Amino acid sequence: MNHILENETLTVQIKEAGAEISSVRQKENGHEYIWHADPEVWPRHAPILFPIVGRLKDDRYRSGGKTFQMRQHGFARDRSFNVLEQTRNRLTFGLTADAVSMDQYPYNFVLDVAYTLQDNALLVKYTVSNKDQQTMPFSIGAHPAFAAPSVVDQQMQEYRLEFEQSETLDRHLIRDGLRSGETKRLLENEQTLPLHPKLFEQDAIVFKSVQSDKVSLVSQSSGKKLVEMEITGFPYLGIWQKVGADFICIEPWYGLADEQDFAGELAGKEGIQLLEPEKSFHCNYTIRFF
């Protein structure tokens, strides 16, 4: 079921399935900002990544001396959330641990996701609460896919990323869904990164320690912003496009895929957050639509 937020500028649709943004449409001209989730290409719009980000080695992890199985990006994106609050411009969803989740993730969690529409901006807040009696390891992240026509030409650089300030950033390379430990410098004291499909032939671009609070998707030909994401506090940033598809994902993360040789407990891997019993973790990002 879809739920609608709207104001004078935008109409936003969010599904109970995965608490996933499925549409953001400009009222003035009907422009759609969110990828339409073509099942023949990539069947998602903007999944929530929890309780892991990325892939686990062999799709398994250890916790408390036991081994568990979990698919890439966790299970939240495939679960139905409950609606906790809805007004014309605010919508809050909740997901709680149950017998199904305990088979994959043996922790008593509560995940709340709040969407607030303000003018041309959608504010998204994640709250993870530990209702267990043990420290809870987890990761969380966003994966919105923005409709980006004209990226299908292998030689075309129709879009660029524009950072708020100059950045020196290494790409942390992915092999078979896992971090290889290799890096490649993509930005050297620069603010813009031209995007084209060849960049994604080695999977997602993964950055650590981005200094900018804001990153924008900009049309090279017109110089106009499509969207701007405010990602203050997120330690990792993923950029992804399925090669040949007409969308680009900008993904702020608290977490990373396993390294290829990782063999430790979940609590010890890079990017994992450790939440004490009866404590809550909060993070938020904002998307502005132009």
Residues 116 and 179 in one domain: no
**pLDDT at residue 154, as a whole number:** 46
Residue 161 counted as domain residue: yes
Residues 141 and 156 in one domain: no
CA distance 252 to 249: 10
Residue 252 counted as domain residue: no
Residues 179 and 262 in one domain: no
Residue 80 counted as domain residue: yes
Strand order of the β-sheet with 159-175 is 82-86, 90-96, 109-118, 121-130, 280-289, 225-230, 214-219, 159-175, 178-195
Can you tell me whether residue 68 is helix, strand or coil?
A: strand
**pLDDT at residue 156, as a whole number:** 53
Residues 11 and 100 in one domain: yes
Residues 95 and 24 in one domain: yes
CATH number where 70 lies: 2.70.98.10
Residue 68 counted as domain residue: yes
Residues 141 and 75 in one domain: yes
Sign of CA dihedral 230, 72, 242, 259: positive
* Number of independent structural domains in the chain: 2
Residues 26 and 46 in one domain: yes
**pLDDT at residue 142, as a whole number:** 98
**pLDDT at residue 151, as a whole number:** 53
Contact 34, 28 (CB under 8 A): no
Residues 123 and 7 in one domain: yes
Residues 157 and 132 in one domain: no
Residue 69 counted as domain residue: yes
Which residues, at least 6 apart from 246, have a Cβ–Cβ distance to it below 8 Å?
35, 147, 148, 149, 150, 151, 152
Residues 132 and 159 in one domain: no
Q: Can you give the residue range of the structural domain that contains 199?
A: 152-237
**pLDDT at residue 181, as a whole number:** 94
Pair of tokens at residue 94 = 């909740």
pLDDT tens-place values along the chain, 290 residues long: 899 999 999 999 999 999 999 999 999 999 999 999 999 999 999 999 999 999 999 999 999 889 999 999 999 999 999 999 999 999 999 999 999 999 999 999 999 999 999 999 999 999 999 999 999 999 999 999 999 986 555 455 789 999 999 999 999 999 999 999 999 999 999 999 999 888 999 899 999 999 999 999 999 888 999 999 999 999 999 999 998 789 999 999 999 999 999 988 999 999 999 999 999 999 999 999 99
Residue 138 counted as domain residue: yes
Residue 243 counted as domain residue: no
* DSSP H/E element including 103: helix 99-104
Residues 140 and 159 in one domain: no
Residue 247 counted as domain residue: no
Tokens 């994959």 belong to which residue? 104
What is the pTM (predicted TM-score) of this model?
Answer: 0.95
For residue 16, which of 1, 5, 6 has the smallest C-alpha distance? 1
Residues 11 and 123 in one domain: yes
Contact 145, 42 (CB under 8 A): yes
**pLDDT at residue 264, as a whole number:** 82
